[in-house]
Structure 1
Amino acid sequence: MLFIEYPKCSTCQKAKKWLDGKKINYEDRHIAEKNPTEEELTEWYRRSGLPLKKFFNTSGLKYKQLGLKDKLKNMSEEDQIKLLATDGMLVKRPLMIADDFILTGFRENEWQDKMGE
C-alpha cells in the first residue's frame, strides 16, 4: 500500500500512528516532495469511485487562495486533475492507495473497515 502524506499535517500523523499501531505495512511518500502525477490522479480517481472533489484539500490555504470553491464547478474533470497535479498542497491527505481500495483523508472507522485490522 502507498501512504501519501504531508508530515507536518496532524491528520497524516494520526493516520500514520494508527497504521504503525496496527503493524500495517506501507510505502511512505511525501506529497510536497513527490506530488501525484496527472496519470496517478486519474487512475486513483477512476478506481476510487469517489467524486473528484474528495481529492481536493478543501480546507487548505492554497485551495482558498485560488478561490477553488467557486471555480471547480466550471472546470472539466481533466482540468481539475491537471490542477491537482501542479501542487501537492491542493491534494487531500493522507491518501492510502491499495490494490482494491483508495482512501482520501483519515476517518478511522473507514480505514478500519477497508484494512480489516
Structure 2
Amino acid sequence: MSIQFYWYPKCGTCQKAKKWLESNNMEYEPIHIVENPPSKAQLKEIIEKSELPIKKFFNTSGKKYRELGLKDKLDTMTEDEKIELLVSDGMLIKRPIAYNGSDVTVGFKEESYENTWK
C-alpha cells in the first residue's frame, strides 16, 4: 500500500519529508491536510496504530493552537473531543503525517523515516 502523506505545501518540514520520500523512491499519495483533513474514523485509526499519545498529534507550535488556548484545555478534554477538534481544522494537526495502514510517522525526522519507511 502506498503511503498516505498528509502535508501542508507551505510547511518547510513537510517539504523536507516529501523530498526524502521522493529521493528514496517511495510511493506516496500527497493529501493537503488543510483542504482535506483526515476523517474522524481515519484519524482515530492513525492515532491507535501510532501508539503515540493523542497530544503528539497537535501542532503545538501553530498559531491556531495558541489562539484557542489549547495548552490549558487539552487536559480536561475527552479523547473524542480532542479528535473532533483535530479533524475540524487541519492547521491544528502536527504535520506531516505519513501512514500506510500499519505504520505511522508524525512530523519529520530523517532517522524515523529511515527506520519506518525503508
Q: Please classify the TM superposition score into its range, dividing by the shorter chain length.
A: over 0.9
> In 2, distance between residues paired with 1:54 and 1:78?
15
1:17 aligns with 2:19: yes
Query: How far is 1:96 from its partner?
Result: 0.2
Q: Which residue of 2 aligns with 1:79?
A: 81
Unaligned ranges ≥5, structure 1: none
TM-score (norm 1): 0.96
Identical residues among aligned pairs (%): 49
> In 1, distance between residues paired with 2:54 and 2:40?
13
1:37 aligns with 2:39: yes
> In 1, distance between residues paired with 2:88 and 2:117?
30
Query: How far is 1:64 from its partner?
Result: 0.6
Unaligned ranges ≥5, structure 2: none
Q: Which residue of 1 aligns with 2:53?
A: 51
Query: How far is 1:37 from its partner?
Result: 1.3
TM-score (norm 2): 0.95
Query: How far is 1:46 from its partner?
Result: 1.1
Query: How far is 1:100 from its partner?
Result: 2.3
Q: Which residue of 2 aligns with 1:95?
A: 97
Query: How far is 1:89 from its partner?
Result: 0.1
Runs of at least 4 residues of structure 1 off by over 4 A? none
Secondary structure of 2:35's aligned partner: coil
